Structure 1
Amino acid sequence: MYIVIAGGGTVGYNIASMLVVEDHEVVVVEQSEKAVEYLNQQLDIKTIFGNAAIPRILRDAEVQRADLVLAVTDRDETNMVICFIAKEMGAATTAARIRNSEYTGYFIPPAKSTLSARRIIRPKSLGIDVFINPEVEMAREILGILSSFYSTPVEQLANGLVQIRSFTIEGSPMVGKTLSELNFAKPCVVAAIARKEELLVPRPDLVLENEDALYLVAERDNMDYLGRMFSAIQRPARSVFILGGTQIGMLVAEGLADHDVVVKLIEPDEEKSQKAAVRLEKAVVLKGDPTDRDFLTEQGVPSADAFVATTENDEFNILSCLVAKNLGVDRSLTVINKPSYIPLAEAVDIDVAGSPAIITARKIAHFVLSGGAIAATLLESGQLEAVEFVVNPQAGIINQKVSQIEIPKEATIGAVVQNNQVIIPPDEAVIHAGDHVIVVSQLNVLHDVEKLFK
């Protein structure tokens, strides 16, 4: 696909890096010389220096032949203008990064007279096919984790019949065993293993080490049973502290309070804390220093179920989570604005480190599907992708057993769904036209995987 990205900041860079690995033709338009220089140093892509809201610049980017235009600058209004112009010039699909939710609805302008028809103006009338709100997506992920039994997000494919989740081995009897020696409580497939910053192919003779993260593919009803092999089940959070009166922090606070969770939001800034107190009717807003142990203890952090840091300062978020963990809070989650900080957060034992930029890239993955793919999601900070394929009647794998399919070693077929029946492990399943096949693959071989299903 030919994809134009307007905005080469953190979000644009992460999306571009994902798309390049998947062998898409990518052009990034950016008006910061420093950002353009960095993009050229890090990625093998074409860059254009300039303001993407100017038609001449978009013409230079050849948006008229673009399969997808992604407007991800820091300004909502600029992104809307870019999508409008790109659509008018012939772009097939446009997506805009929009933070203000009021822009995503429709409005009805006044009629010329009492008898005149009133016209409804919808986002598509403005040339925007898809709205992407990184803050809303990040808040949803945090809420999903806090309401579940485990501290890692779960991905769902095949209309929710199949789930993918990572579990980390920590001081478990599994350490030192090979994959073939593991006895899982329910049927599943180990689709990938993350060891420190390396992705490993899950071979039967692979010896497991402490802190290895195993990506399991299993039926929806079996995933919680499998999780008990790795850690004790945690009850859904009923008492949560949130750091930061940011958009993410406010959305998480509102979502939790609506489900009768006790929420306390800490905001060091006087003005922001006052605004948060006005907006959050069902939560307690505190002004204080989240790195002050005495303050946190006095407010009850040691007995809380979770501590969530959502400020725009990554170092402050990590430090605050460490203090909360040291005081005994069960779960710590932090928002990381620079994805390069995620390994640092994980290295100091913060339970979950999530990035709005990576969340956005994950959502974009759905719009660059090809080769019979109907759904996709990114895993392991964008290094892996789980894809749901529908087998084409002309595909070369028809009537083959899964175990006979010559798939790249960096990819694993985790499940086959035939007539809404899930087959896991799928090795003996015979592939038929119309089957749904779930594959977990490293990005660099995904193009070869797609060819199997065409």
Structure 2
Amino acid sequence: MRSIVVGAGVLGFNLARRLSRENHSVVVVDHDEAKVRHAQESLDVGVVHGQGSGPSVLLEAGLEQADMLVAVTGSDETNIVACLIAQTLNHEVVRIARLRDPAYLGPQGIIHKAALDVQLVISPEQEVAHSVGLLAAVPGASDVLDFVGGRVKVVGVRIDPGSPLDGKPISAIRWLAEEQALLAGVYREEMVYAPSTDMRLAGVDTLFIVTTQESTRRVVTRLGKRWVRTRHVMIAGGGRRGVAIAKHLSAVGVHTRIIDPDAALCERLVEEVGESVVLCGDPLDQDLLRDEGAGRTDLFVGATNDEQQSVFAALLAKHLGARRVVALVDTPNHVPFALRIGVDVVLSPMLTALGPLLQFVRRGEVVSVSTLREELVEGIEFIASADSEIVGLPLGLLRMPRGSLVGAIVRDEQIIIPDGNSVIQQGDRVVLFARPQLIPRLQRLVART
């Protein structure tokens, strides 16, 4: 497939990398010469330096022959114009746009009233709000992914130093099978390792557990975490991200407060997020955070436009006693550092948006795509077709690439946490986990023959 990616920021760069790895012919377009040079030197892609909303630039990038155009710059207007030009110059090209302004989004958004015929609209702000919502629903977890409409979950649970599991052999959690759960991987020293019989658990390890919705609470509590319902959340930052998170949580009955130093913005927020309390002040003011009860919150989210400020605000809240703290970080390479210095959960809004993009690009039998920990692991939900190589054989006999794992099989109303004797049948929904570099091989394995 021939693809044009307009925008070489975090989202565009990582999307181009993934598409190139999956054998797409990719051209990256950006007006920032440094970003274009970085893409050219780091990726196996073509590049064009210029405005992505310019017809001549898009033609130079190969628009007339392209199969797909993905416009993911930081400007909604540039993305919209790029898609309009693509629609005019190549009626067959698939068009995807990143949009940030809520005025363009939703059933009443302008995007639905205009004649902008795009096949997918992606919003990192909405995606990260959804991710925070999943975390709020599973107290004690550091990571939460949903599959099969929430019936299958992946939860990350961190082992605290000095806890009963610290230093124990992996056999200490063999009870997972009793709870219809499976250990899919262990995050340690910025790597994800497949569990092995000789592995010992260590403080600061994070266990990635595949389980059912019904078993999630029992699994989390048996791993030593308290299950305290998330009722109160404080959000540092009243920008688009903070507002999206507040609206998402308020819609499910969570009491939210937003703190931001911009007085004019706070006045607008009072009207925009009526169900949230708006506090005008510096989220790095420790006395203010203490007075406003940051230490008593169930979840504190650093969501300012400055990732360093978001991390520091989260650490302040944790110092004051917040149960869990989250920081939004735009630079993927900074995620491990933020975790090392004590932030409980670090989310990259741009990387959370990759899942829906990859799901759309792969389409076919693929139902959903999610990533864990800076894309170290990818989770794919797909429907098994009759002529797929994985159908009809026990999993133990399948030649699955090392570093991949079938985590769950859903057959009608039955959820199967599999072992080597489990057999995938036609029509099953299968949840598979793998390192991203293995995805092309796995696609050939699960695709129709």
> Letter of the aligned partner of 1:46 in structure 2?
G
Larger deviation: 370-379 or 423-432? Answer: 370-379
Q: How far has the Cα of 1:143 moved from its partner?
A: 2.8
Match for residue 116 of structure 1?
none
Flag the 1:432–1:135 CA change in 2: closer, same or farther, 3 A: closer
What residue identity is the alignment partner of 2:215? N
Pick aligned residue for 2:257 from 259, 264, 267: 264
Equivalent residue number for residue 441 of structure 2: 448
What is aligned with 1:103?
104
1:118-153 superposed Cα distances (whole Å, 9 cap, x missing partner): xx9946831311111111222222233224323334
**Which residue of 2 is the match for residue 215 of structure 1?**
208
Could you tell me which residue of structure 1 aligns to residue 298 of structure 2?
A: 305
Tell me which residue corresponds to 2:78: 78
Distance 2:7 2:301 in 1: 29
Structural mapping, 1:13-162, within 5 Å: 13-88=13-88, 89-104=90-105, 122=112, 125-162=115-152
What letter corresponds to residue 127 of structure 2 in structure 1? E
- Aligned residues of 2:250 and 2:276 also touching (Cα < 8 A): yes
Write the letter of the residue equivalent to 2:375. G
The TM-score with structure 2 as length reference comes to 0.90
Report the Cα offset of residue 259 of structure 1: 4.9
Aligned to 1:375: 368
Percent identity, aligned pairs only? 28
Change (3 A) 1:230 1:400: same
Task: For 1:433 and 1:285, locate their aligned partners in 2 and report how far apart those are by CA, in whole Å.
Answer: 52
Distance 1:206 1:269 in 2: 50
Q: Which runs of 5+ in 1 are unaligned?
A: 109-119
Q: Could you tell me how far apart the structure 1 residues matched to 2:359 and 2:146 are?
A: 13
Please report how far the alpha carbon of residue 72 of structure 1 lies from its aligned counterpart in structure 2 after TM superposition: 0.6
Q: Report the AA paired with residue 96 of structure 2.
A: A
Give the conservation status (yes or no) of the 8 Å contact 1:386–1:439.
yes
Classify 1:82/1:193 alpha carbon distance in 2 versus 1 (closer, same or farther; 3 Å): same
Find out whether 1:10 has 2:1 as its counterpart: no
Match of 2:190 among 197, 201, 205: 197
Say whether 1:238 aligns with 2:242: no
Q: Which residue of 2 aligns with 1:114?
A: none
Q: Deviations over 1:391-420 (max 9, x none)?
A: 332233443111111101110111223344
Kindly tell me: are residues 397 and 206 of structure 1, through their superposed partners in 2, closer, same or farther at Cα, counting changes over 3 Å?
same
Aligned partners of 1:437, 1:106: CA distance in 2, in Å? 31
1:400 has 2:393 as partner:
yes
**Residues 452 and 253 of structure 1, relative CA distance in 2, 3 Å threshold:** closer
Amino acid at match of 2:173: L
Structure 1 counterpart of 2:128, which letter?
A: M
SS in 1 for 2:47: strand
Instruction: Please give the TM-score of this superposition, normalised by the length of structure 1.
Output: 0.89
Match of 1:184? 175
Paired amino acid for 1:100: D
Question: Aligned AA for 1:440?
Answer: F
Letter in 1 for 2:372: L
Indicate conservation of the 8 Å contact 1:22/1:443, yes or no.
no
Mean Cα displacement is larger for which, 68-77 or 251-260? Answer: 251-260
- The Cα of 1:257 is off from its aligned counterpart by 4.2
**Distance between the aligned counterparts of 2:39 and 2:437, measured in 1?**
19
How do residues 285-434 of structure 1 correspond to structure 2 at under 5 angstroms? 285-369=278-362, 372-434=365-427
- 8 Å CA contact retained: 1:191, 1:217: yes
Higher RCO (CA 8 Å, separation ≥ 6 residues): 1
Alpha-carbon offset, residue 443 of structure 1? 0.8
Q: Distance in 2 between matches of 1:157 and 1:261?
A: 23
Q: Which amino acid aligns with 2:55?
A: P
Distance 1:182 1:301, change over 3 A: closer
Specify whether residues 198 and 23 from structure 1 end up closer, same or farther in structure 2 by C-alpha distance, changes over 3 A only. Answer: farther
Flag the 1:63–1:180 CA change in 2: closer, same or farther, 3 A. Answer: farther
Cα distance change of structure 1 residues 239 and 105 upon mapping to structure 2, 3 Å threshold: closer
**1:79 shift after superposition:** 0.6
Question: C-alpha distance in 1, partners of 2:294/2:2?
Answer: 49
Equivalent residue for 1:170, pick from 160, 163, 176: 160
Report the number of matched residues.
443
**CA contact 1:362–1:382 (8 Å) conserved in 2:** no
- Whose radius of gyration is greater, 1 or 2? 1
Label 1:251 to 1:453 Cα distance change in 2 as closer, same or farther (>3 A): closer
Q: Offset at 1:359?
A: 1.3
Deviations 1:28-51 (A, max 9, x none): 111111111121232222211112
Opposite residue 94 of structure 1, the aligned amino acid is R
Q: 1:318/1:132 Cα in 2 relative to 1: closer, same or farther (>3 Å)?
A: same
1:7, CA displacement in angstroms? 0.5
